[in-house]
Amino acid sequence: MPDSRLQQVTILGATGSIGVSTLDVIGRHPERYAVFALTACRQVDRMVEQCCRFGPRYAVMADADAAVQLRARLREAGCATEVLSGAAALAEVAADAEVDAVMAAIVGAAGLEPTLAAARAGKKILLANKEALVLSGRLFMDAVEASGACLLPIDSEHNAIFQSLPASYRRNPVASGVRRILLTASGGPFRKSAVEDLEYVTPDQACAHPNWVMGRKISVDSATMMNKGLEVIEAHWLFGAAADRIEVVIHPQSVIHSMVDYLDGSVIAQLGNPDMRTPIAHALAWPERIDSGVAALDLVEISQLTFERPDFDRFPCLALAYQALREGGAAPAVLSAANEEAVAAFLDGKLGYRRIGDVISATLERVGMMAVDSLEAVLAADANAREIARDQITKRAITR
């Protein structure tokens, strides 16, 4: 039986970079946290290591064949963790009555249903999955409010904003004297590249982020700044700010993670080394503070902090995200789905880097306005957008 004295944590997406960092923080505080469940898609080797070290009650693999492999491997290792598989099991371990906190770190639309299940169950949600809010913002926030769930952002930018707002903040910028939310962005690997040279970008080049170590999909999103566009939409739902109150600022050093500009002229920022263990530790222990394992920030060594405005010709995906937020309805879900399809095609060598934005733009034009007032409607918009995006990818595919 789980130790009732410890906070029981489910990690959705345990084998990804956020999941690994979360386990690193948990491992530093065995007197506070225990792992209730770990989930992954297909990474059996890493899941075996994690289960043997942390001893969760459950391990869930989205892929059924991977679950069979994991079950056999854990039996051989003498690990008593019970292995489950499928989408329903993901939702179950997110909403289980014994779970205190859920790290929602499954990338993409696949993370929506289990994260929504955690919200409906009133859990403490550590939200690292942007798409949960991008796809179903109002639906998700309504579930959080109805259940009394505690929603804490893990993206370094949104966590920084959360820390820079007053404790009494309730998604009302005007009532709290907030003029603007300033989202910082590194600018990725192509901040200084000639725009015409971006036609020849390879997947390995797009994944070579100058500051952060991340998975390949999110690394490409950072290169195109779609990652920042999704964060603009996420910030809208988290903090109740309209599109014209959310501004993106390129900050190559990635030391200031975001800022809040107040009506009295004050700008409050959160600074730190670029390490995701900081926001993870902050959210795990909130409202307390615990050691994250991150080195202290040395401002003298950094010596200078610089800022630039984003170039929408270089980063058309950022402009498309603002467009989708302003359109509302299903547009953000369509944006996210089309981006996932286009990035996957780029990583597979089937689509040119500069065509990612073209595919998204064309998909937004063809889907049109749709309401998203239920999970079924969200999933339908997502599926429709993917079908259209795949057709657009075929029309623009790289010929060999």
pLDDT in tens, 157-177: 999 999 999 999 999 999 999
Looking at residue 129, its pLDDT comes to 86
pLDDT tens-place string over residues 230-261: 999 999 999 999 999 999 999 999 999 999 99
Contact (Cβ atoms closer than 8 angstroms) between residue 14 and residue 37: no
The pLDDT score that the predictor gives to residue 291 is: 97
Q: 7-153 and 328-400: same fold?
A: no
Q: What is the pLDDT, as a whole number, of residue 399?
A: 58
Nearby residues of 375 by Cβ (< 8 Å), 6 or more positions away:
112, 113, 116, 136, 139
Q: What is the pLDDT of residue 257?
A: 96
- Where are the chain's structural domains? 7-153, 156-196+206-315, 328-400
- Whether the CB-CB separation of 129 and 155 falls below 8 Å is answered with no
Residue ranges of the chain with per-residue pLDDT less than 50: 1-2, 400
Return d(Cα 297, Cα 251) in angstroms, integer.
16
Residue 400 is predicted with a pLDDT of: 45
Domain spanning 328-400, CATH class: mainly alpha
Q: What is the pLDDT of residue 1?
A: 39
Which homologous superfamily is 7-153 in? NAD(P)-binding Rossmann-like Domain (3.40.50.720)
Q: What is the pTM of this model?
A: 0.90
Nearest to 400 by CA among 342, 350, 358: 350
What stretch of H or E contains 75? helix 64-77
Q: Is 328 left (phi over 0), alpha (psi -120 to 50) or beta?
A: left
